[in-house]
Amino acid sequence: LKRVPFYAPWCGHCKKLEPIWNEVGLEMKSIGSPVKVGKMDATSYSSIASEFGVRGYPTIKLLKGDLAYNYRGPRTKDDIIEFAHRVSGALIRPLPSQQMFEHMQKRHRVFFVYIGGESPLKEKYIDAASELIVYTYFFSASEEVVPEYVTLKEMPAVLVFKDETYFVYDEYEDGDLSSWINRERFQNYLAMDGFLLYELGDTGKLVAIAVIDEKNTSVEHTRLKSIIQEVARDYRDLFHRDFQFGHMDGNDYINTLLMDELTVPTVVVLNTSNQQYFLLDRQIKNVEDMVQFINNILDGIVEAQGGDSIWQRLKRIVFDAKSTVVSIFKSSPLMGCFLFGLPLGVISIMCYGIYTADTDGGYIEERYEVSKSENENQEHKEESKEQQEPSSGGSVVPTVQEPKDVLEKKKD
């Protein structure tokens, strides 16, 4: 087993990961893990990087036999080590006793269990595990090992344990098993950030977020967060198939995502799969108001905003360009002046040069035309004058130069 990050020497994120990666290597070595930790410069070994489908830096992959597993979690030491343990071990881990089952419940916040013998459902479960092992744990157990509070209507069954309860997979209501596991691999209530919202885009769920300032201890901020938590807990059976709940500290990321300015505190519901969002149609004073708002969304009463239409994509391009320019000038005004002032200056000089070149060319051409016209007029006048000069006998007599001695005698 090998764990390899593909990096580029000039990549800022790679430099930020380097000390964390060194800690991962030391930790894995100290616990005697079979996973070997290394790294590869993708700019020097571009053909190998292309073979593994590396498109960005840093890219972390765990190589297990002929398979390469991508790591997409937070870049922290504990999360990376947890990923290595999960993927390097057995695809389906057995739970032979109730004590082991209880231990897994304490250790993992979300995990899946197949209960029963050989069946077509187990084959689907194994296929789903081979695809989604990078995200969560998969176990198998007999019916005797399952806690007493678990009620199963039929066997075999697939269950997810999370939020101090469990949910049973229903093929008729939940559809494809892999899709269901992908939707249910998150806790029902989460502290949101940009990375987590990106991951939730694959679930197809709507995400209800209380946008608050966690440093602000006023009643309005704490009340909205408590209402979202209560809805997630008490209405779990009603909404967990369609909704994910959580809160986000600050509105900077949400404003960028929505290309709008939201006033904190507020509640926004995101559809991360198509970039649509829903804003409040009422003031949220209690849980009942929040439940009614969610039901109005499901019934199509609340109008969806945003989306991924061509107009929205063009708007996104303009917004991102504007945000980039503003951020550059805010962080480094001199750098902003240099980056944008220098090209504008060069373009201005080029335009001025082209304009003055055209003006001088026209002026020279005009002078040439005037001079040519004057010469023609002068020649025309001289020809007319010669034709109009008459002789004494009425005829033109050529002038004959007198000899030099005759001229001198006349002078004397």
Residues catalogued as catalytic: 11, 14
Residue type, 192: M
Contact 58, 24 (CB under 8 A): no
Burial 295-317 (b: 16+ CB within 10 A, else e): eebeeeebeeebeeeeebeeeee
Phi, psi torsion values for 59, nearest 5 degrees = -115, 125
| Cα–Cα distance measured from residue 320 to residue 323, given in angstroms and rounded to the nearest whole number | 5
Contact 152, 115 (CB under 8 A): yes
3-state secondary structure of 323: helix
Q: Which residues contact 126 (CB under 8 A, 6 or more apart)?
A: 91, 92
DSSP strands (E only) in 186-241: 189-191, 206-212
Contact 243, 206 (CB under 8 A): yes
Of 97, 113, 24, 96, residue with least CA distance to 60: 24
Residue type, 71: Y
A 10 A CB-CB count for 92 gives 18
